[in-house]
Amino acid sequence: MIKRADELALMAESGRLLAQVFAFLDRQSLVGMSTMQVNDLVERYIVDELAARPASKGQYGYAYALNASRNQVVCHGVPSSTEILQSGDIVNLDITLEKNGYIADSSKTYLVGEVAPGAKRLVKVTYEAMWKGIRAVRPGARLGDIGHAIERHASRHGYSIVREYCGHGIGREMHEAPQVLHWGRPQTGLVLREGMTFTIEPMLNQGRRAVRTEDDGWTVVTVDGQLSAQFEHTVAVTRSGFRVLTLRPGETMPA
């Protein structure tokens, strides 16, 4: 669970490379692309340009380099050659990358073309909620502090938080201890210690928090059909606070 300095350096390198993947995606026009085309672009970039490995491919029998979760899909959306991104969509692209034996995990919800104000607001608040959780990270804080900060921000803006899925420890394995819930009570749960690494990845719904898994066994959707958004970063607990290992070029913490 606690990473040594040399391990943190390797995780930071994986995170730096993964941030480059998102910078690459930021330069793409997603309108009219299939989610499978996006998957293939990302896989080629990770393998050919970064000499790394898409860590999700082969994990738990999953066959692809990313999850593409569009509109009412909460998470684990499977890339498809028939699912075409249209102007007005939102799509979360969740990508893991392994380099030198260590894994980084991050996701971003993209606005595709011209997006309605309500969808833009959901995406903005979800991004802010992730950062509220990240701001709570420091030695001596507790996991419940992270969840409480996220839940309070989401509730203030009228959104529900999906409870079936959570953040997780990460390192040599994609999923390690602890589980990082996106709701909770302050000063409860595991005490954070310097050297811990984990993801913070809230999923916010416009409507009710209820979700269901589709027949493919992967794709999770909102039961009421309303939109869902997610953002994710891999974070390390430092001596004085936190370090975001997957921070993207030009990305700054919102006020």
| Residue 223 near residue 212 (C-beta atoms within 8 A) | yes
Q: Read off the tokens for 13.
A: 């390198």
Q: At what angle do helices 5-26 and 35-44 cross, to 10 degrees?
A: 130
E-assigned strands of the chain? Answer: 53-54, 66-70, 73-75, 90-99, 102-111, 160-161, 167-169, 176-180, 197-200, 203-205, 211-213, 220-222, 228-230, 233-237, 242-244
Average pLDDT over residues 54-77: 97
pLDDT at residue 167, rounded to an integer: 98
Average pLDDT over residues 124-153: 98
pLDDT tens digits for range 108-126: 999 999 999 999 999 999 9
pLDDT at residue 237, rounded to an integer: 98
Per the confidence metrics, is the pTM higher than 0.85? yes
Number of H helices, E strands in the chain: 4, 15
pLDDT tens digits for range 88-97: 999 999 999 9
CB atoms within 10 A of CB 155: 13
User: Residues 6 or more apart from 204 whose CB is under 8 A from it?
Assistant: 122, 125, 126, 129, 154, 159, 160, 161, 162, 228, 229, 230
| Residue 129 near residue 153 (C-beta atoms within 8 A) | yes
Three-state SS at 235: strand
pLDDT tens digits for range 190-249: 999 999 999 999 999 999 999 999 999 999 999 999 999 999 999 999 999 999 999 999
pLDDT at residue 196, rounded to an integer: 98
pLDDT at residue 116, rounded to an integer: 98
Query: Would you place residue 255 in the very low, low, confident or very high pLDDT band (cuts 50, 70, 90)?
Result: confident
